[in-house]
Structure 1
Amino acid sequence: MLLLSVTRYPAMIRLSALCLLAPLATAAADPSPERARELVRMVRQDCGACHGLTLKGGLGPALLPETLREKPAESLRYTVLLGRPGTPMPPWNAFLTEAEADWIVRQLMTGFPEEIR
């Protein structure tokens, strides 16, 4: 019976495996400590130029956990990577990998660090 289920629902099996393995992929995607320090500096300086040096807002909106709480992480990642056409928000995909953008979004949603030692 199990064999019948596996052959009958291969997409469901693959999706289940993906859901089980996704947390492992996320943990493996964290940048090296050196790159994490570079990313923190980039967000604090480059993003901070519009979003405020303390990320409390400026030309761009605040990037604090309480202001990002209702926003889907995937939407935030796409905004970081692709920018927002018709607004001053530029794309950062020339400087960041998708994994780095995910890391930045996770950090923003939990309280972005001042620095990483």
Structure 2
Amino acid sequence: MAGSHPPFRRRHRLHRRRWPVNRVATGVSAALLALAGPVWSDSSAPDPAALSRLVHQDCGSCHGLTLKGGLGPDLRAETLQHYDADVLKSVILDGIPGTPMPPWRPLLTEAEAEWIAQYLLKGSQ
């Protein structure tokens, strides 16, 4: 059959179409975080350096590495001023159903989510 694609290419293109971007992005973020190990340590205090890296690398994979927006919205302090820290903490921990924002509760403690919310509201840069 001249001009036709090999079956493996056709199957690969169809496979790609079955996975919406949000599932791929969520899966990639979760896989990267799992490889990096837990953010928390044995102490109950959040590790600011590790959480800052998490925000810029893992959150940045969807929200843009400069947090100016991408697949997800802008996370800079000036665009988040109308949010309460408790609301942001809830979004971080439980995600937003029906959107690419995944729940981070299995991977973060409440104290870490609170630290991230305050970090975003104060300006991360």
TM-score, structure 2 as length reference: 0.62
What whole-Å deviation, never above 9, does each CA across 1:28-72 have from its counterpart, x for those lacking one? x752xxx22111111111100110000010110111111100012
Gaps of 5+ in 2: 1-43
Correspondence 1:102 to 2:114 = yes
Correspondence 1:75 to 2:123 = no
- How many Å separate the matches in 2 of 1:65 and 1:41? 17
Q: Which residue of 2 aligns with 1:54?
A: 66
- How many Å separate the matches in 1 of 2:52 and 2:120? 10
Letter in 1 for 2:48: A
Q: Percent identity?
A: 56
Q: Which of the two has greater helix per residue?
A: 1
Alignment of 1:9-88 (within 5 A): 31=46, 35-88=47-100
Across the aligned residues of Structure 1 and Structure 2, the Cα RMSD in angstroms comes to 1.3
Q: Which residue of 2 aligns with 1:3?
A: none
- How many Å separate the matches in 1 of 2:62 and 2:95? 13
Q: Which runs of 4+ in 1 moved over 3 A?
A: none
What whole-Å deviation, never above 9, does each CA across 1:75-107 have from its counterpart, x for those lacking one? 110000000000000000111111110011101
Gaps of 5+ in 1: 1-28
